Amino acid sequence: MPDAKAWRDKLETKLVPQIAENIHQFESQMQLKKQGKVSDTLFAESRLRLGLYGQRYDNGHRFDGVQARQIEFPNPYTKGHETHWDAPGMVRIKIPKGEVFPDQLDLMANLSEEYADGVSHISTRQDIQLHFIRIEDTPSLMLRLAAVGITTQDACGNSVRNVTTSPETGVEEGEVFNVDPYATAIFRFLLGHPDTMEFGRKFKISFSGKESNASGLTNMNDMGFLAKKQMVDGAERLGFKVLVGGGLGAVPHDAKVLYDFLPLEKILPVSQAVCRIFSRLGEKKNRALARVKFLVAKIGVEKFKDMVEEELKTMRHDPRWEALIQNLEVTEEHPKTLASIARKGEDAEFNTWMDFNVRQQKQAGYYLVTVQVPLGDLTPKQMRGIAELARVRASDSVRLTVDQNVVLRYVSGSDLVHVFNELKRLGLGEGCSGSIQDMTACPGTDTCKLGTSSSRGLAFGLQKHLQSKGKLRPEIEKLKIKMSGCFNSCGQHHLADIGFYGVARKKDGRDVPHFQVELGGRWSQEEGSYGLPITAVTSKSIPALVDKLTDYYSQNRKGDENFYEFIKRIGKKEAKDLLEEFKEIPDYDVAPEYYSDWYDHRPYSTGDKGIGECAGEVVSLFEFEIGKAERLYFDGQVALDEGQALQAIDLGTAAMVAAAGALVKVQNKDIHEKAEVLKEFKLRYEGKGLFSANFMRYLYQAIESTRAANVENARQTLQEAQLFIEEVHASRDRAAAALETK
Amino acid sequence: MELQKVVIKVPVSAGALDLNAIGAEFTKWIQNSSLPGVLIDVADYSHMFEGPGVILVAHEYIFSLDQQDGFNGLKVAYRLNSDEPLAQRFKQGLDLVRSGIALLKQANIEIEFSEDQCWLGVADRLNETSDTHEQLFTAAKVAFGDKVTCLKKSESKALAMIKVRLS
């Protein structure tokens, strides 16, 4: 990977050493994987934790429309189970709180041109995703992101995923307080935290500053923080209502209240305690039951809370608990133009855009502008255009939203016409944010290995259909439509007035794309707001279904009844009867279009589905730690080959310490520092017959003696390191065998 | 190190742009292995304003009926670095685009191209310098002869490209 080395040299002064080191370690691991020295499981989880996700067809199988074919990728290596090394993949770029700055937008535009297909996709967790990426390009890509302060670490895999917040936080009328810096603190604290290394599944956190604003979705996350004030001894105190065990997925769960009020200074230790409990007690074998929501449901929130309290007592104090809260990172936002009250004009298009896409901030004379992004996809030119608008007409703090749009903050009323015209020039001037035409869709069969039907295709097809109908009635215009390519709910279909998720049916031996319809979900913080599953319908009939359903709603609603209330009143049976005709699959000879998916020219087939990587791989702490030791050893060999004797000795020694750490950390996760590792290793292994005394001596010699920096000593240290690592494996195996015998 | 990851785009000169029909053709190209390389998938971006249009993803390159930069064109963007001289890669890239144009003609897709001109460039900001446009033009002359003239250069921030008349 010569490019990565060149980028590292070029960007050296801009890189945080630890981040650069993590990327370098991944490069080493790539080399070791090619040499067959790292397992598929370990490599897959390592790359997932760096945001490097698999993509559809990476198992090398694809139905081309005529026959199922093997894609003949050139390299024989794999990057996971049944995952070809050369198969294009997705990179998920973690954007904490969805907050992104102009230079970062420019950089991501460049990356999409150089490494991807020229498209930056906004995910439903405020990330940016690039598709069709070669794994060989990922170290360069990650280094370039790191140079502008962005990491992909923990973007996928069984880790703490992107921390989300409302895009309005800090500027919204009526919010309790600005939750933004607390979300930053928790992101920094849990990023790569040792207590998050052994999860059985992913863990999602969300913040919101205002209960009535749904965009934080605190009720639908593994852990949600809702800003709250409380009077204590006559003084106002800030904190959070803390929720736990919420989530969408195939089986949605409302979060339960863990703390009705948790003071600010407690949020980090409590989060850590929840992670430790999830890590220890969460399901590891059955992925379908491995999220926190199942654990909370199983043991009850009261018991879960007791466990959190107990855990807090046993945890070693971490000075970062206070430091990160006392020294909050607050984004200072500087508007570029003086505040000014907005006014509508003569232009009807502008006025409509004002109605749908512009909201007043609590700071008088400043406005939030929602840029509606079709299917969350942006071209490089659009990314740069938004960056430029932020530089000259808004705050530098641009927000990506969970409904796949972009929000500009601190736009002065006097700049709105300019911003509108500029967005129109970029093809982003649609004035229907938050309306029925502003749909949310996950990647579905376009790129996701789990997709059953084309959610993006359906969204675009339906959007075009609705646009062709002209002005819609106000009660219909307000409805929300969301779709997912499968039951996993990445498109948040449970929360929509009209939700769809992909399923398949057969007729006369042919596969037919379908969507399950869910009605009456709500984009709200309140409980019981998930949609009611009604029935599965053919994908191609959905535009007609939406017409019939919305007409029926308009004609039969009582007073100001909203769609949720309407569906609740008419009930599942009446709704099902209404949709009955859309279950009908016409014969192939009559309507062949029903047998292919939206914007896909192949006959529809479910044969392309692969094994998803949403769940990540369950990799033990031991495997992670021993993997680290092996990478250090490998780097030592490279240094020796390059004549860097001193560096090779240091790396060989570090490899032995890391390997010893692998053994002791599985027994005590609170051990992090080198001195602690050595102390614990001595305590637990010396004279116990559990570890060869000869190999143990290698470690102590390397630590205690200062070997002259020559090639001979370097070679010897590395040989000893290799033997030491082997003995760590053997010791671990012996302990496991002894346990089995018992 | 020479500039890497060549990009070539030949502009559409006439005909209504039917991305749906072109997507169907790209699908057939995979079925029939009509282009060299490891052909993988087709993706439709017709919902995007001046976006990549419809793309054919191969291991070695991405082929597209592209709508970016204010004009439509058939484009190839190489994904792999190469040891070949830049001029040679321009020739190979243009040959590939011309193969695509020929396939679209065979399929009776109603679209015409200005084959006497094209945009040439590189997706390589690592090796980009202030004289990258000059390097591109020099390579273009080596590849296509001294009659090549430079008509336009890309704007700052965009990929380094030049528009050339080939004869």
Cα–Cα distance, A362 to A375 (Å, whole number): 29
Q: How far does Cα B61 stand from its chain's mean position?
A: 10
Q: Tally the C-alpha atoms within 13 A of residue A351's C-alpha that lie toward its C-beta.
A: 5
Which of left, alpha, beta for A507 (phi over 0: left; psi -120 to 50: alpha)?
beta
pLDDT the model gives residue A740:
62
User: Which residues have CB under 8 Å from A636's CB, separation 6+?
Assistant: A647, A648, A649, A650, A651, A652, A655, A714, A717, A718, A721
- What is the residue type of A666? V
Within a 10 A sphere around the Cβ of A319, how many other Cβ atoms? Answer: 7
Q: Which of the four pLDDT bands, split at 50, 70 and 90, describes residue A615?
A: low
> Of all residues in chain B, what percent carry a pLDDT higher than 90?
90
- Taking contacts as CB-CB distances below 8 angstroms, the residues of chain A near B27 are 64-65, 601-602
Q: Answer whether A230's CB lies under 8 Å from A263's CB.
A: no
> Which range scores top for mean pLDDT: A209-218, A383-392, A709-718?
A383-392
The contact set of B with A (CB < 8 A) is 1, 5, 20, 23-24, 27, 30-31, 38, 40-52, 55, 57, 59, 62, 64, 68-69, 77, 79-81, 123-126, 157-159
What's the CATH fold of domain A179-326?
Sulfite Reductase Hemoprotein; domain 1 (3.30.413)
* Secondary structure string (H, E, C) spanning A188-229: HHHCCCHHHCCCCCCECEEEECCCCCHHHCHHHCCEEEEEEE
- First-last CA distance in chain A: 48
**Total residues belonging to chain B:** 167
Q: In the β-sheet with A235-244, what is the strand arrangement from edge to edge?
A: A164-165, A205-208, A223-232, A235-244, A256-263
User: Which residues have CB under 8 Å from A412's CB, separation 6+?
Assistant: A335, A336, A337, A338, A339, A340, A365, A366, A367, A393
| CB pair distance less than 8 Å for B126 and A140 | yes
In the structure encoding, which two tokens stand for residue A248, read together? 């969408």
CA-closest candidate to residue A299, choices A315, A284, A283: A283
CA-closest candidate to residue A565, choices A532, A523, A520, A626: A520
Cα–Cα distance, A334 to A391 (Å, whole number): 10
* pTM of the entire predicted model: 0.89
The domains of chain B are located at 6-118
CA-closest candidate to residue B43, choices A557, A433, A451, A719: A451
User: Which residues have CB under 8 Å from A317's CB, separation 6+?
Assistant: none
Nearest beta carbon to residue A71 from set B27, B38, B158? B38
* Secondary structure string (H, E, C) spanning A552-565: HHHHHCCCCCCHHH
Cα–Cα distance, A95 to A101 (Å, whole number): 10
Cα–Cα distance, A351 to A334 (Å, whole number): 27
Q: Answer whether B72's CB lies under 8 Å from B12's CB.
A: yes
Q: Which of the four pLDDT bands, split at 50, 70 and 90, describes residue B167?
A: confident
- Taking contacts as CB-CB distances below 8 angstroms, the residues of chain A near B62 are 117, 132
Burial class (CB in 10 A: 0-12, 13-18, 19+), A18: exposed
| Rounded to 5°, angle at Cα B164 from B162 and B167 | 165
Among chain B residues, CA nearest to A7: B126
Average pLDDT over residues A422-435: 94
The domains of chain A are located at 2-146, 179-326, 348-425, 440-595, 621-741
pLDDT the model gives residue A618:
66
Q: Decide: helix, strand or coil at residue A600.
A: coil
Q: Answer whether A688's CB lies under 8 Å from A731's CB.
A: no
- CATH node for B6-118: 3.30.310.50
Whole-number Cα distances in Å, A726 to A629, A630, A659, B26, B165: 11, 10, 9, 52, 64
| CB pair distance less than 8 Å for A381 and B50 | yes
In the structure encoding, which two tokens stand for residue A199, read together? 């999860």
User: Which residues have CB under 8 Å from A160's CB, separation 6+?
Assistant: A154, A190, A191, A193, A196, A202, A203, A204, A205, A275
What's the CATH fold of domain A440-595?
Sulfite Reductase Hemoprotein; domain 1 (3.30.413)
ipTM: 0.97
CA-closest candidate to residue A41, choices A158, A161, A128: A158
Cα–Cα distance, B22 to B16 (Å, whole number): 11
Q: Does domain A348-425 have CATH number 3.30.70.3340?
A: yes
In the structure encoding, which two tokens stand for residue A469, read together? 């109908």
pLDDT the model gives residue A566:
95
pLDDT tens profile B121-156: 999 999 999 999 999 999 999 999 999 999 999 988
Whole-number Cα distances in Å, A96 to A180, A191, A529, A565, A568: 10, 11, 26, 35, 37
Domains A440-595 and A621-741 share a fold: no
Average pLDDT over residues A419-444: 94
Q: Which of the four pLDDT bands, split at 50, 70 and 90, describes residue A266?
A: very high
Residue of B157, B159, B161 to mutate for A, most A C-beta atoms under 10 A:
B157
| Rounded to 5°, angle at Cα A527 from A127 and A204 | 25
| pLDDT tops 60 at residue A527 | no
In the structure encoding, which two tokens stand for residue A527, read together? 């409980």
In the structure encoding, which two tokens stand for residue A85, read together? 């090394």
pLDDT tens profile A668-698: 777 778 888 899 898 888 888 888 888 888 8
Helices assigned H by DSSP within A557-673:
563-579, 621-641, 645-665
Cα–Cα distance, A692 to A489 (Å, whole number): 51
In the structure encoding, which two tokens stand for residue A485, read together? 């390519």
Q: Answer whether A662's CB lies under 8 Å from A631's CB.
A: no
Q: Which of the four pLDDT bands, split at 50, 70 and 90, describes residue A138?
A: very high
Helices assigned H by DSSP within A12-167:
17-34, 40-49, 102-115, 138-146
What's the CATH fold of domain A621-741?
Four Helix Bundle (Hemerythrin (Met), subunit A) (1.20.120)
pLDDT the model gives residue A421:
97
| CB pair distance less than 8 Å for B47 and A73 | no
pLDDT tens profile A462-482: 999 999 998 899 999 999 999
Cα–Cα distance, B61 to B119 (Å, whole number): 16
Higher pLDDT, A716 or A229: A229
Q: Which of the four pLDDT bands, split at 50, 70 and 90, describes residue A214?
A: low
Residue of A57, A64, A391 to mutate for B, most B C-beta atoms under 10 A:
A64
| CB pair distance less than 8 Å for A6 and B1 | yes
Cα–Cα distance, A320 to A275 (Å, whole number): 16
> Of all residues in chain A, what percent carry a pLDDT higher than 90?
66
Cα–Cα distance, A436 to A345 (Å, whole number): 25
CA-closest candidate to residue A515, choices A444, A465, A563: A444
- Taking contacts as CB-CB distances below 8 angstroms, the residues of chain A near B42 are 600-601
Helices assigned H by DSSP within A132-287:
138-146, 180-190, 267-281
Residues 216-255 of A with CB under 8 A from B: none
